[in-house]
Structure 1
Amino acid sequence: MAKTGERVRAVSGSALDALHFALDRSSPVPLYHQLAQQLEAAIEHGALAPGNLLGNEIDLSTRLGLSRPTVRQAIQSLVDKGLLVRRRGVGTQVVHSQVRRPLELSSLYDDLEAAGQGPTTAVLRNERVPASAEVAVALGIGEGGEVTLLERLRATHGQPVAFLRNYLPPAVADLDTGRLEATGLYRLLRSAGITLHSAHQSVGARSATAEEAALLAEREGAALLTMRRTAYDDTGRPVEYGTHVYRASRYSFDFQLLVRP
């Protein structure tokens, strides 16, 4: 067994070969939680990549010098988060890292790219449609007026993360489907000379419809995070209204709260 504060190294035979784990037996933090935190950090930072095998619980407990229940509890906590999956006859495998976004005016594409998540985009719709009452209010135009509708499926490591629906006034920018699949919407808006200044955003949650579940590789009724956002340029003009849904198993918002003086 590893001693207090000892750096534990996995022996050959799995993706853990090059990793070290500092487990402190004198800490009030349970060993399973320490191990889970360090495995999660390795996944988030790319040291453990999607598809990597960790071996089975018996192998892991032997390699790490921990009891099997400790390893099982650590693995289960990451399975519950959707970061690992158990495969019969194979062992424990890395699925993906969860997407964490700062609560600020940024595009999902830029955030994923900055995090090394390798984002890809499939454009499902790019067409002119009449504005509904909701869209008209958000963009400050008349109901029934023409807007550009974009529907895109965003993925990382070959796994869908979000279904994005955006509405833009036609005068804002002419958005080519090929460019939309190669980069992010906000990046294209900036290249068109639009300075994004602020946004009003609301975040919620609901269950996936059958259509959304099929797009996002989830079961119908699975938990989804939702976001509605109206973005404004530096003149105060609404330039984009988005209604997005995200897989709750793969996505979270990070933000800092300050005490008001």
Structure 2
Amino acid sequence: MLDPQSPTPLYHQLAERLAAAIRAGEFAPGARIPSEPKLAAQYGIGRPTVRQALDSLVRQGLLSRRRGSGTYVREAPKEIDLFSLDGTAASFRKRGLAMASRLLGPTTRRTITTDERHPLAGREVFSLTRLTRGEELPVLLEELDLDAGLFPGLDRLDLTGQSLSVLAAERFFLRPCGGRQNFSIDYLGGERGRLLEVTPETAILRVERLLHFPQREAGFFSRLYCRTDQFVFSQTLGGFEHA
């Protein structure tokens, strides 16, 4: 049964259950899932709540409705994710490079003031900072802001070792639908320079990444500071890649 005492809405809990069942193969591609009345009886909830859960899975592309027939599991689409939330660190792993990422402190909730030069200004966000190291040196510093309305309860999750792209897709049913990346050269002092172990004279690649989602534009923003004395960073049609 679902947990009515949980801060996670019942429709979201049901959507998570059904999505997990689809991923586990309990409902094969093309299979018809139980009707709204059956799901309502099975989980002890009302049909409007069931309909909300199914609507969210339809929007995420996991299910499709056939008029007069029912709701079916869709075939998994083939896609190229150019704007993965975890694309930068994941690309290291895909290249077989030995990298280790760690969070620098807990996830915090804050309001970005409207006088800040920030695409999420005026909103509540969850903020976290992550440092990726190679075998000998730090390589990448990431400062991440995620819209609190899109990622409810993120600050209560253990994000150690988590892929943010997987977490966004599987727990929050979010997939980017577009975005923008800006590249510039920066020179770091203070805490950022200390974390990356560079001097103020060291040129750093700075990437600002903004992602849009079907549910909300500008739902994720990050600043990435990349050491280029050990790696060459390049944008390709296949994703964000490092050589």
Q: Distance in 1 between matches of 2:186 and 2:205?
A: 7
Q: After superposition, where does 1:11-30 map in structure 2 within 5 Å?
A: none
Larger Rg: 1
Per-residue deviation, residues 115-142 of structure 1 (Å, max 9, x unmatched): 1123322211410112133768513x6x
Distance 1:133 1:246, change over 3 A: farther
Instruction: Find the counterpart in structure 2 of residue 131 from structure 1.
Output: 112
Q: Distance in 2 between matches of 1:195 and 1:146?
A: 20
Instruction: Find the counterpart in structure 2 of residue 157 from structure 1.
Output: 135
Distance 1:137 1:159, change over 3 A: closer
Q: Distance in 2 between matches of 1:158 and 1:181?
A: 21
Q: Is the 8 A contact 1:207 1:222 kept in 2?
A: yes
Q: Which of residues 207, 226, 237 is equivalent to 1:246? A: 226
Q: Distance in 2 between matches of 1:135 and 1:252?
A: 31
Q: Is the 8 A contact 1:135 1:167 kept in 2?
A: no
Instruction: Find the counterpart in structure 2 of residue 74 from structure 1.
Output: none
Q: Distance in 2 between matches of 1:111 and 1:179?
A: 22
Aligned length: 152
Instruction: Find the counterpart in structure 2 of residue 186 from structure 1.
Output: 165
Cα deviation, residue 235, structure 1: 4.2
Q: Is the 8 A contact 1:120 1:182 kept in 2?
A: no
Q: Distance in 2 between matches of 1:194 and 1:209?
A: 35
Instruction: Find the counterpart in structure 2 of residue 72 from structure 1.
Output: none
Q: Is the 8 A contact 2:132 2:140 kept in 1?
A: yes
Gaps of 5+ in 2: 1-80, 238-243
Q: Distance in 2 between matches of 1:158 and 1:178?
A: 30
Quote the sequence identity (%): 18
Cα deviation, residue 181, structure 1: 2.7
Q: Is the 8 A contact 1:123 1:177 kept in 2?
A: no
Per-residue deviation, residues 155-189 of structure 1 (Å, max 9, x unmatched): 23253111111111112223368743303322221
Could you tell me which amino acid in structure 1 is paired with residue 168 of structure 2?
L
TM-score, normalised to structure 2, is: 0.55
Q: Which of residues 85, 97, 102 is equivalent to 1:117? A: 97
Q: After superposition, where does 1:37-48 map in structure 2 within 5 Å?
A: none
Q: Do structure 1's residue 104 and structure 2's residue 104 form an aligned pair?
A: no
Could you tell me which amino acid in structure 2 is paired with residue 227 of structure 1?
V
SS state at 2:149 partner: coil
Per-residue deviation, residues 189-228 of structure 1 (Å, max 9, x unmatched): 1222111121111010111213222101222321100011
Q: After superposition, where does 1:225-236 map in structure 2 within 5 Å?
A: 225-235=205-215
Q: Is the 8 A contact 2:102 2:161 kept in 1?
A: no
SS state at 1:205 partner: strand
Gaps of 5+ in 1: 1-102
Distance 1:146 1:115, change over 3 A: same
The alignment's C-alpha RMSD in Å is: 2.7
SS state at 1:251 partner: coil
